[in-house]
Amino acid sequence: MQRDVVGINFRNHVLVHENNPGKHHFLANDKAVCKTVLHKHHIPTPETYALVRGMNDIPKALKAIRDKEAVAIKPASGSGGSGILILKNEGDGTWSKPSGKILNERHLTWHLANILYGMFSKGESDQAIIEYCLKPHPFFENIYSQGVPDFRIIMLGDQRVMAMLRMPTAESDGKANLHAGAIGIGVDLETGELKTGFDGKQRLNRHPDSAVRFAGLILPEWEKTLRVAQETARLFPLAYLGIDIVFDAVFGPMVIEINIRPGISIQNVNREGLKAAIGRLEEEKSEKKKRWQ
Amino acid sequence: MKKRIYRHFLALLFLIPLAMMAFKVRFLNYSLERTLSHTSYQIRLNYRFTEAADSAWLRIALPTSEERQTIRSEANQSSGYDLLIQRGKTGRYATWSGPAGANEALAYSFEFIGYANRYNLDSNLTVPDLVPESLNDFLRTYPVEALPEVEDNRLVPLLGSYFEAARDTQDAVLQFVNWVRHAGLPARFAGGFNLEQGEHEYRNWAEVMINNTWIPFDPAFGHFAQIPAGYMKINNSAFPEARHHGNRPFENWVEVKQRTTINPQLLAELPVLDYNAFAVWAAFEQAGIPIDILKVILLLPLGALVVVLFRNVIGISTFGIFLPALIAMASRETGLGYGIVAFLLVIGVVSLIYVPLERWGMLSVPKITIMLVSVVSIFILVSVLGVKAGLPNLAYIALFPIVVVTVSAERFAKTLTQDGFATAFKLTLQTLLVAAAAFTVMSSSTVESLFLTFPELFLIIIGLNLILGRWVGLRFTELFRFNWIVR
């Protein structure tokens, strides 16, 4: 196992430390910067309606979103989904949360101010991003109707190493967080086919709540997804990345986040160690080289 | 190029200390036993007359330096009285004389350092037929009905039988001395108290003359031909000889303060060098800074090493990286039990306060400030209540590094609200486990002495931390976590 599986020590000291220089970490950690780069190079990512840098940007931002159907408000430096507000426009300057609660523009101002003053970024002042609110692709609603699933692909340089789909469950309360109870489903890198799922205790071929069988289904727009991932990886001077992609009903695969320290549970989901997967990549590269000679 | 420099640096971190240690052991005669830090006791004998009179005198016995105990820094703490110190047959005596009002206090202070002694008695020794006349006093007996049964009447087994028999009697020491004298061996009383056990009342043990040496025996506490380091011998009489004029009532009490010091026997033998542990130690002593601070500085890297081991090698995560080592450090003052209690108390308080503050949407810094104030208040409250309830040790939790614990407790509360009670509880247990491990290592007196003797060891600790910090193997817990891959 030592040969094939990557533990936290190896990930931190070899994969992250040697591939992701510290001075470039902000390109991934600051979502505002990351989105700017992605927008500039036309990588599909939710449209940024407003970037709130200071209190005096708030009125302008609120005006800009008044005619939008739905928005997502996120802290630029937030982690783990804290501080994210999903809002549907109810008209007359009011918005509703998925829970049904109604908020007006004062509430939004208050939440934006909290983000600016660092409530979700450990006290450090931060920026707020207001962006297009993703609508999950029907492919996923057919498997399970709640929450937004999230596709994670690990890239080494511009080579794909491993990928998984994180499906929310009732247990995870609609969140695509493995630790909260979502299931991880391995994805075949060649075909985009869903393999078996893993919920931390056992392997599954069906969603535990809807009982829909997902093993064997193929992700929508797979070729485009791979291309998006590869172009994203090429854009950043960070060679070991976990790219998070969500499939929107209208726009297809969109990059929502890049991680410089992607988790290692993906190995359990795909039943393969990262070292083994990287080793295979090296082999394929040298095979190709041999063929050209 | 960077890697080579790193390797050389690492090698130096190991070689320099080893060289220094080898040098000390070979050329300066250092060894672990001889440089063990030693406990010394600051003692103050107090006496106070409770009624007035025209004049008064008081005579007390004072301990004397001998081979196994050092008495130094003696000082008369009373003024207005004449003090005369004389040697008598059974020991040294201090006599105060002068006018005495009521409630006038007399006191004498000194420092005591004792060593344990253990005698190997040859089992073939026999009880001598003749005893020199000078020792006649030590053969005076009072009548007994019967002597205890003795199977083997060679000296050592005989003493053994009397020793065991005496242990079952009411006045073990008295019986023992009497029987031994009956058998023809000179024996005398020794009196004082055992400071290690916190004794402050004068009591007796015995000494028997064997081969021209007075050998100690304490049948009351089971010490046969040996004496523990904490025994302070005051005199060789059955009485402490505190006598006062006219049988006027007086009170007496003893104040004892314990501290760690350098083994004076060793200090006398050491050549004076600029850079050895004792120069540092002596500098601290001179400045009046407690040795404990030096110990903290030397041992904290070791505590950090324990935490790194548990985190990076075994794979047990904790709240904060240094918190377990700091809990261990603080527990040296309070004891590990109270340390854990204090930590759990802080976590409890913080959790109670965090949840409503979080709901209110408070910002981080004011939130932590409120929690800090609450923790401080609770600590003070617990300390005061503890003292009132007769648990003064509880006050020690006030020595806890409050700010660090509060910050980490805030993290606990955050985990609590985000990941649920199970995760937060598990992390708490893991933190305390690692803290206990660090504490065990850091509080061992062998480790302490080792580091005080060879402070260069902490370079090795740094080297080990460096190596561990770059180790990329699978953590022990990961072997289980990724079992799914092969299943």
Q: Give the position of tokens 């919920």.
A: A199
Q: Does residue B74 or residue A78 have the better pLDDT?
A: B74
Interatomic CA distance for residues A153 and A228, integer angstroms: 11
**B323-334 and B291-308 helices, crossing angle to 10°:** 140
Contact B485 A4 (CB under 8 A): yes
CA-based nearest distance A284→chain B, Å: 23
Buried b (16+ CB within 10 A) or exposed e, B311-323: bbbebbbbbbeeb
Could you tell me the strand order of the sheet in which B213-218 lies?
B223-224, B213-218, B203-210, B187-194, B231-235
Token readout for B216 is 């100690």
Q: Does residue B147 or residue A47 have the better pLDDT?
A: A47
Poorest-confidence range of B216-230, B265-279, B315-329?
A: B265-279
Interatomic CA distance for residues B228 and B193, integer angstroms: 11
Calculate mean pLDDT across residues B399-424: 73
Contact B482 A268 (CB under 8 A): yes
Residue to mutate among A5, A9, A119, A267, with most B CBs inside 10 A, is: A9
Amino acid at B449: S
Phi, psi at B182, each rounded to 5°: -60, -35
Poorest-confidence range of A165-179, B48-62, B124-138, B471-485?
A: B48-62
> A66 CB contacts (<8 Å, ≥6 apart)?
A89, A93
Report the pLDDT value the prediction gives residue B4, as an integer from 0 to 100. 86
Poorest-confidence range of B87-91, B95-99, B270-274?
A: B270-274
Q: Is A45 helix (H, G, I), strand (E, B) or coil?
A: coil
Q: Least CB-CB distance to A272: which of B471, B474, B485?
A: B485
Taking CA atoms, what residue in A is nearest to B468?
A9
List of E strands, A58-108: 70-75, 85-91, 94-96, 102-104
pLDDT winner (highest mean) among A50-54, A119-123, A177-181: A50-54
Poorest-confidence range of A25-39, A134-148, A184-198, B88-102?
A: B88-102
Report the pLDDT value the prediction gives residue A254, as an integer from 0 to 100. 96
Calculate mean pLDDT across residues B102-109: 77
CA proximity to A99, closest of A119, A85, A116: A85
Contact B475 A8 (CB under 8 A): yes
Q: Mean pLDDT, chain B, as a whole number?
A: 81
Poorest-confidence range of A273-287, B120-134, B204-218, B289-303?
A: B289-303
Report the pLDDT value the prediction gives residue B399, as an integer from 0 to 100. 62
Q: Least CB-CB distance to A268: which of B312, B363, B484?
A: B484
Contact B475 A122 (CB under 8 A): no
- How many residues in total does chain B contain? 487
Calculate mean pLDDT across residues A4-16: 91
> In 10 A of CB A6, how many CB atoms?
23
Report the pLDDT value the prediction gives residue A11, as an integer from 0 to 100. 93
Q: Does residue B386 or residue B74 have the better pLDDT?
A: B74
Buried b (16+ CB within 10 A) or exposed e, A259-279: bbbbebbbbbbbbbbbbebbe
Q: What percent of chain B has pLDDT over 90?
A: 14
**B364-388 and B402-443 helices, crossing angle to 10°:** 60
pLDDT winner (highest mean) among A73-82, A124-133, B150-159, B326-335: A124-133
CA proximity to A232, closest of A35, A43, A2, A25: A43
Q: Mean pLDDT, chain A, as a whole number?
A: 91
CA-based nearest distance A176→chain B, Å: 14
Contact B482 A2 (CB under 8 A): no
Q: Is the pLDDT of residue B403 over 50?
A: yes
Report the pLDDT value the prediction gives residue B275, as an integer from 0 to 100. 47
Instruction: Provide the total of helices (H) and of strands (E) in chain B, helices listed first.
Output: 14, 15
Contact A1 B471 (CB under 8 A): no
Poorest-confidence range of A79-83, B36-40, B155-159?
A: B36-40
pLDDT winner (highest mean) among B1-5, B94-98, B207-211, B336-340: B207-211
Distances (CA, A) of B28 to A47, A222, B31, B195: 75, 75, 9, 32
Strands B231-235 and A240-248: unpaired
CA Rg value for chain A: 20
As a dihedral over the C-alpha atoms of residue B181, residue B182, residue B185, residue B187, rounded to 10 degrees, the angle is -10
Report the pLDDT value the prediction gives residue B272, as an integer from 0 to 100. 47
Contact A4 B481 (CB under 8 A): no
**Cβ(B278)–Cβ(B262) under 8 Å?**
yes
Q: Which residues of B touch A119 (CB under 8 A)?
A: 361, 363-364
Confidence category of residue B274, pLDDT binned at 50, 70, 90: very low
Q: What is the pTM of this model?
A: 0.69
Confidence category of residue B35, pLDDT binned at 50, 70, 90: low
Interatomic CA distance for residues B91 and B78, integer angstroms: 22
Provide the CA B437 distance to its chain's centre, in angstroms.
Answer: 20
Contact A9 B312 (CB under 8 A): yes
Interatomic CA distance for residues B264 and B65, integer angstroms: 13
With residue B268 as reference, give the H or E element that holds it: helix B264-269
Report the pLDDT value the prediction gives residue A19, as an integer from 0 to 100. 94
Q: Least CB-CB distance to B474: which of A1, A268, A272?
A: A1
What single string gives the DSSP state of each residue in B326-365? HHHHHHHHH-HHHHHHHHHHHHHHHHHHHHHHHHHT--HH
CA proximity to B402, closest of B343, B328, B322: B343
**Cβ(B298)–Cβ(B451) under 8 Å?**
yes
Strands B82-87 and B231-235: unpaired
What single string gives the DSSP state of each residue in B195-237? GGGT--S-EEEEEEEETTEEEEEETTTTEESEE-TTEEEEESS
Contact A272 B418 (CB under 8 A): no
Amino acid at A98: P
Q: Does residue A73 or residue B20 have the better pLDDT?
A: A73
Scanning A83-142 for CB atoms below 8 A from B yields 110, 114, 117-119, 122-123
Q: What percent of chain A has pLDDT over 70?
A: 99
